[in-house]
A and B are shown apart, each in its own frame.
Chain A
């Protein structure tokens, strides 16, 4: 039972570098999403997807790109890393379909990213 798998667990980048955080789920969930967690800010939604080929912006999308070519995978791309993107990133998925979002989220174990 893999659930939601995130890689890598830790990453250090230099300002201006690009990278992709990987997220995969094996539960056939339609809904997938990316959050960042910063001290005192809770979990803030970056991007989400309600199905393959469909993505949308969340609360803090700037500096991040996503795509959803398959149901299983939802990678998050940092185009040009900045120190402000130092954070813990969580991928999450749920059974929710395209018409409504009301099922619980299953979270990955997180990626701790530092941008120097």
Chain B
């Protein structure tokens, strides 16, 4: 079974629209860590955020915000007032305290249309 599910394969929005990328995870551990990475067209993987399972506070960084809800096992990512530079593939990932592996979702490809 997939430990990290990103059900949205591709999303297109018009510039300045808000967009939310969904991430649902599965783990039996009580201590775990969640991540978001961005992969722009140039191909490199850029770290965006790390969140541990004990910190359910939402986080905002500029136009980016993250909503962590343990009750629904979700760690969703919202981009406010999207820009063309936000066009990228976004990956959600999970690590568990009892293991040594990162589990990545299949990614969501976001296209922001000018």
**Which residues of chain A have a CB within 8 Å of any CB of chain B?**
31, 33, 35, 40-45, 48, 50, 56, 58-59, 88, 90, 92, 96, 100-107, 109-110
Contacts and interface: CB of A to CB of B under 8 A. Distances in A.
Contacts of A105: 35, 37, 45, 47, 102
Contact of A102 (B91, B95, B104): B95
A92 B105 CA distance: 16
B43 A110 contact: yes
A101 B43 contact: no
Given A42-B91, A50-B100, A56-B100, A102 B9 contact: no
B64 interface: no
Interface of B: 6, 9, 33, 35, 37, 43-45, 47, 50, 52, 91, 93, 95, 97, 99-102, 104-107
A110 B45 CA distance: 9
A42 B6 CA distance: 10
A88 B10 CA distance: 20
A40 B97 contact: no
Contacts of B101: 45, 48, 58-59, 101
Which 8 pairs of residues, A with B, have the shortest CB-CB distance?
Answer: A42-B106, A107-B45, A43-B104, A102-B33, A101-B100, A42-B104, A104-B47, A101-B95
10 contacts: A31-B100, A90-B45, A96-B100, A101-B99, A101-B102, A102-B33, A105-B37, A105-B102, A109-B43, A109-B44
A59 B100 CA distance: 12
